[in-house]
């Protein structure tokens, strides 16, 4: 584990998020906004519809076990002052709705409906076309957010040509930043990928701690965040 970059807006850790979380204090960030890896079932079936290689395997990073995901999200709840918002395979979302990770409540499940989803390659059933969003919260703190009575669902396209194969829409993550945190807050993303949470947080006046186990995606974040935001001293 190492700090890839740090300044007064962002800290990028290159390493295993479990090690970073273990070194963080209770309630040390305002919220956790994240996109964990797929479980083995979903991960193994993931395909891409992005340009060359249509229908080929979309992800080349490790899946996460059900137990590891549950334990790591429980740690996210420990370090968060309130919210843990995560995009999840529906199997995990439904399981956590019924039995949340330790220390958390699942207050609502939402969906991201993709306007340009990957077709079903076998053509023998409808394509999936959506992902679950779990809105979880510490079970010892009264929940509050900036969304009033609004819903937590999104109808947005998958952005083509992203460096990370499972990148989430910046508009959706930016909406989470605005609804679940306040200006000046610190947000944690323990599975940072290509840095969408970091970009949204900085653009909207928050601070952010991100963790990514693959150095190539730390490089992607560096390049993405250096666009009129950060000075990475030539890293790109």
Contact 217, 164 (CB under 8 A): yes
Contacts of 141 (CB under 8 A, 6+ apart): 81, 82
Instruction: Look at residue 13 in the predicted model and tell me its pLDDT.
Output: 96
Positions of the chain with pLDDT lower than 50, given as ranges: 51-54, 56-57, 230-236
* pLDDT tens by residue, 89-133: 999 999 999 999 999 999 999 999 999 998 888 899 999 999 999
Q: For residue 97, give the nearest of 132, 130, 121 by alpha carbon.
A: 132
- The H or E element that residue 73 is part of is helix 66-79
- Work out the end-to-end distance of the chain between its first and last CA atoms, rounded to an integer number of angstroms: 20
Instruction: Look at residue 224 in the predicted model and tell me its pLDDT.
Output: 80
Contacts of 215 (CB under 8 A, 6+ apart): 4, 14
Instruction: Look at residue 222 in the predicted model and tell me its pLDDT.
Output: 83
Q: Which residues pair with 114 in a beta bridge?
A: 156
Per the rule left: phi > 0, alpha: psi between -120 and 50, beta: everything else, 86 is beta
pLDDT above 90 as % of the chain: 72
Greatest C-alpha distance within the chain: 52
* pLDDT tens by residue, 10-19: 999 999 999 9
Mean of per-residue pLDDT scores for the chain: 88
Q: Supply the CATH classification number for the domain 2-225.
A: 3.40.50.150
Instruction: Look at residue 44 in the predicted model and tell me its pLDDT.
Output: 52
- The H or E element that residue 232 is part of is none
Instruction: Look at residue 233 in the predicted model and tell me its pLDDT.
Output: 44
**Has this prediction a pTM greater than 0.95?**
no
CA 21 to chain centre: 15
Residue ranges covered by each domain of the chain: 2-225
The vertex-34 CA angle with 30 and 40, nearest 5°, equals: 145
Give the whole-angstrom CA distance, residue 18 versus residue 104: 17
Q: For residue 33, give the nearest of 170, 161, 215 by alpha carbon.
A: 170
């Amino acid at each position: 584990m190492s700090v890839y970059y740090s300044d007064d807006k962002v800290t990028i850790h290159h390493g295993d998020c479990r090690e970073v979380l273990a070194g963080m204090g209770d309630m040390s960030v305002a919220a956790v906004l994240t996109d964990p890896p797929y479980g083995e079932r979903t991960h193994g079936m993931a395909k891409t519809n992005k340009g060359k290689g249509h229908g080929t395997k979309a992800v080349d990073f490790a899946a996460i076990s059900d137990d590891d995901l549950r334990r790591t999200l429980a740690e996210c709840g420990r370090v968060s002052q309130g919210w843990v918002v995560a995009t999840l395979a529906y199997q995990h979302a439904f399981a956590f709705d019924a039995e949340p990770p330790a220390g958390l409540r699942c207050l609502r499940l939402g969906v991201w409906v993709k306007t340009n989803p990957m077709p079903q390659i076998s053509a023998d059933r409808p394509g999936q076309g959506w992902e679950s969003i779990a809105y979880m919260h510490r079970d010892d703190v009264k929940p509050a957010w900036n969304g009033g009575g609004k819903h937590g669902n999104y109808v947005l396209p998958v952005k083509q040509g992203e460096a990370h194969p499972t990148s989430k829409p910046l508009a959706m993550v930016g909406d989470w930043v605005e609804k679940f945190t306040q200006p000046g807050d610190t947000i944690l993303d323990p599975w940072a990928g290509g840095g969408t949470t970091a970009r949204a947080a900085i653009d909207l006046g928050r601070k952010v701690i991100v963790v990514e186990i693959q150095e190539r995606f730390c490089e992607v974040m560096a390049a993405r965040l250096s666009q009129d935001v950060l000075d990475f001293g030539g890293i790109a």
